[in-house]
Structure 1
């Protein structure tokens, strides 16, 4: 009976913790990840093949309308509201005629804050890098690719 009460207590505590939001919820990014510089290179008159090479395959390409490609991306930050971004390309006879959508719309200050959050400011001393010699390198003069092996001398 004591094991049952202990198990029931642990189960209720786990449910309470999950209900309080203490359980980690990851950010979820789905759909196409487009780069602004690639989208800026789109020009009317480009062929479907050129657009495919530049942006990749669209996330939505309907069989009923071959002249419309939709690039869709959704992002949810730790269980928060879902952000949906779309870019619609319209073709006429396999050439691009129109682009529309809000794929890169957003609050610029918020985007800067998000970018700075992931910016790692590591001190780098390029003079030291991998090419510098340490005390151990001076002691050990034999390494890979140095000196001749017995196979090299026998081939002469």
Structure 2
């Protein structure tokens, strides 16, 4: 009898523990988890070929993943997870330099302006729900005009 009660108790404990992980309260909001740099269309539109690294850093911010072996390529990763158990969606925007000048950009960025507060924040959250970064094969901007007006 003691063995049967111990086995029964072990089965109850095991099923109780597994039930906790699959139980969900109905109607509970799960926050989307964002990590990395949010690169927006507005930021990308400010980039021009020939910009210095300092100017690009001002527009896009510091790269979170600096490459110690290649300082001429900056990667801006961004990932989103819908809720606590949702699928992780990853994006990457990359800028390339030669002789400390911007020569090429490529990758994914979010449409619209950078999220701030109020109406802009609400629109950004709507964009997040749509999950539509703009994929680009080559988002290289046009060249920066020379100061004298000649290209």
Does 1:55 pair with 2:66? Answer: no
Number of corresponding residues: 110
Structure 2 residues not aligned, in runs of 5+: 1-7, 112-122, 130-151
RMSD over equivalenced CA pairs, Å: 3.4
Alpha-carbon shift at residue 18 of structure 1 (Å): 2.4
TM-score w.r.t. the length of structure 1 is 0.56
Question: Where do 1:66-145 residues align within 5 Å?
Answer: 66-78=71-83, 79-104=85-110, 115=126
Q: Which runs of 4+ in 1 moved over 3 A?
A: 8-15, 20-26
- Asked whether the 8 Å contact 1:85–1:104 carries over to 2, the reply is no
TM-score w.r.t. the length of structure 2 is 0.58
Q: Which residue of 2 aligns with 1:149?
A: none
Greater RCO, 1 or 2 (C-alpha within 8 Å, sep 6+) = 2
Q: Which residue of 1 aligns with 2:37?
A: 32
Q: Which residue of 2 aligns with 1:20?
A: 23
Alignment CA distance shift 1:37-1:69 (3 Å): same
Higher-Rg structure is 1
